[in-house]
């Protein structure tokens, strides 16, 4: 079945060639269901590794062997794409599939007589699914539709990360690529130093943002109007219901997979803004967020698997734009490969620094001091790379680029 053809007023035609490929984003929550069936049928615990192998093995391999895809929908086609509810159902379906995965994972944990290695596999599989599910919640949580916002909170319940709904939208998007943002990794900061800083800092930030909002309205933070508390309530209900059905021992599994899930999110956060900084303007304020402040990736497989999350530059420049309409900008710094590979690289600091530090410095034309630098390593990094580039600090306010693969006439195919 071919994708619908969109026609502009001047007769220009365009079709979303990836329309039905977005369903591949549902493969991760399907795999644990398949794993459960194979394990139940054969008695072997090996199938529980399918999800981890697919996400961190097959997807990186496909990214490495598939051509880049910078092509985006023409500007005139974006309203029609955004109005097409098919794309919303591609995200909605992730939620019930995750629910099925959690129930099957709980059953296997309690009744499956699993070995330690098999329990690790089950936690890894479910944590990967719920971690990627945070990306689905991220897509839904940015929208104005009330149903999508509610579904976003429900999806976050599985990882006990409901405060992300507040912190990401009202904290991260405001402070991104500045030292004040706990979700923006600093040049020279390893993932293992970033993890506690972002986990604790994001939680604290979410609470402060919501408490401030309520106090400005003359209300106590300790109320049902507090979106952090109501989001956490979804987790209490979910975990409580599963513990009621499977017994309290299942809470160990639920907590472990939640830690894996939100750690996967924070690894993605680490990759997305590592070392990038917004410069101060003459007024002392930070410059407006634009594509130069997020790492971009045009690896087609990662983009399909994550609802265009790797086109992160356009997302930060235009947060409410739906995933199917996001563009790739020529001015955005580019990751060397897709998210799956970059997450694995981030876990090995020495390798990560070798791959990414030179790219950050090159982005700032050799001037380390223009990057978002870990203060503990500033002297070392300046000595290694230099603290003055060929352009002055005003170069950071250069004009935005045009979308890559996007012709002025708005024609093309995706």
> Does residue 364 belong to any structural domain of this protein?
yes
Question: What confidence tier does 96 reach under pLDDT thresholds 50, 70, 90?
Answer: very high
> What pLDDT digit, counting tens, does each position of 214-231 carry?
999 999 999 999 999 999
The yes-or-no verdict on residue 72 having pLDDT over 90 is no
What's the predicted TM-score (pTM) here? 0.90
The yes-or-no verdict on residue 402 having pLDDT over 70 is no
> Does residue 8 belong to any structural domain of this protein?
no
Residue span of the structural domain in which 306 resides = 23-397
The yes-or-no verdict on residue 396 having pLDDT over 90 is no
- Spell out the alpha helix ranges (H) of 49-160: 50-53, 59-65, 78-83, 85-92, 94-111, 116-141, 146-157
Phi and psi at 238, nearest 5°, equal -65, -55
The yes-or-no verdict on residue 406 having pLDDT over 90 is no
Question: What confidence tier does 395 reach under pLDDT thresholds 50, 70, 90?
Answer: very low
Residue 104 is predicted with a pLDDT of 98
Average pLDDT, the chain: 91
> Does residue 17 belong to any structural domain of this protein?
no
Q: How many domains does the chain have?
A: 1
> Does residue 407 belong to any structural domain of this protein?
no
> What pLDDT digit, counting tens, does each position of 273-330 carry?
999 999 999 999 999 999 999 999 999 999 999 999 999 989 998 888 899 999 988 8
Contact between residue 346 and residue 270 where contact means Cβ atoms under 8 Å apart: yes
Packing angle, helices 250-273 and 191-216, rounded to 10: 100
Q: Give the list of residues 6+ apart from residue 304 with CB closer than 8 angstroms, or none.
A: 18, 21, 22, 24, 25
Task: Compute the distance between CA of residue 143 and CA of residue 340 in angstroms, rounded to an integer.
Answer: 26
Question: What confidence tier does 388 reach under pLDDT thresholds 50, 70, 90?
Answer: low
> Does residue 315 belong to any structural domain of this protein?
yes
Tokens 């999800």 belong to residue: 51
Question: What confidence tier does 392 reach under pLDDT thresholds 50, 70, 90?
Answer: very low
The yes-or-no verdict on residue 414 having pLDDT over 50 is no
User: Highest mean pLDDT: which of 127-131, 317-321, 393-397?
Assistant: 127-131
């Amino acid at each position: 079945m071919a994708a619908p053809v969109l026609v502009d007023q001047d007769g220009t035609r365009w079709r979303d060639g990836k329309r039905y490929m977005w369903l591949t984003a549902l493969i991760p929550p399907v795999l644990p269901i398949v794993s459960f069936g194979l394990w139940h049928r054969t008695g072997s615990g090996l199938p529980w590794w399918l999800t981890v192998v697919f996400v961190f093995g097959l997807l990186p391999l496909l990214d490495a062997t598939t051509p880049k895809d910078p092509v985006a929908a023409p500007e005139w086609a974006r309203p029609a794409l955004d109005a097409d509810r098919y794309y919303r159902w591609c995200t909605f379906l992730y939620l019930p599939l995750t629910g099925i995965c959690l129930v099957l994972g709980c059953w296997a944990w309690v009744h499956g007589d699993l070995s330690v290695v098999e329990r690790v596999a089950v936690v890894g599989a479910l944590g990967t699914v719920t971690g990627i599910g945070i990306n689905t919640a991220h897509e839904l949580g940015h929208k104005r539709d009330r149903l999508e916002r509610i579904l976003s909170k429900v999806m976050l319940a599985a990882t006990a990360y409901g405060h992300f709904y507040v912190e990401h939208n009202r904290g991260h998007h405001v402070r991104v690529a500045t030292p004040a943002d706990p979700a923006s990794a600093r040049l020279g900061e390893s993932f293992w130093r970033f993890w506690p800083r972002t986990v604790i800092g994001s939680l604290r930030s979410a609470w402060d943002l919501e408490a401030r909002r309520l106090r400005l309205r003359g209300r106590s933070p300790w109320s049902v109007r507090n979106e952090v508390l109501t989001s956490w309530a979804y987790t209490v209900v979910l975990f409580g219901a599963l513990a009621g059905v499977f017994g309290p021992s299942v809470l160990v599994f639920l907590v472990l997979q939640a830690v894996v899930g939100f750690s996967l999110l924070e690894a993605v956060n680490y990759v997305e803004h590592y070392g990038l900084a917004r410069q101060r303007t003459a007024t002392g304020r930070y410059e407006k967020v634009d594509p130069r402040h997020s790492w971009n990736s045009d690896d087609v497989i990662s983009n399909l698997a994550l609802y265009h999350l790797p086109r992160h530059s356009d997302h930060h420049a235009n947060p409410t734009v739906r995933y199917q309409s996001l563009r790739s900008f020529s001015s955005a710094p580019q990751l060397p490969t897709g998210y799956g590979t970059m997450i694995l690289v981030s876990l090995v600091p020495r390798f990560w620094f070798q791959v990414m530090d030179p790219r950050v410095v090159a982005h700032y034309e050799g001037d380390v001091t223009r990057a978002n630098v870990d203060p503990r390593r500033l002297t070392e990094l300046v000595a290694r790379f230099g603290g003055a580039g060929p352009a002055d600090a005003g170069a950071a306010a250069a004009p935005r680029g045009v979308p890559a693969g996007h012709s002025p006439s708005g024609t093309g195919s995706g």
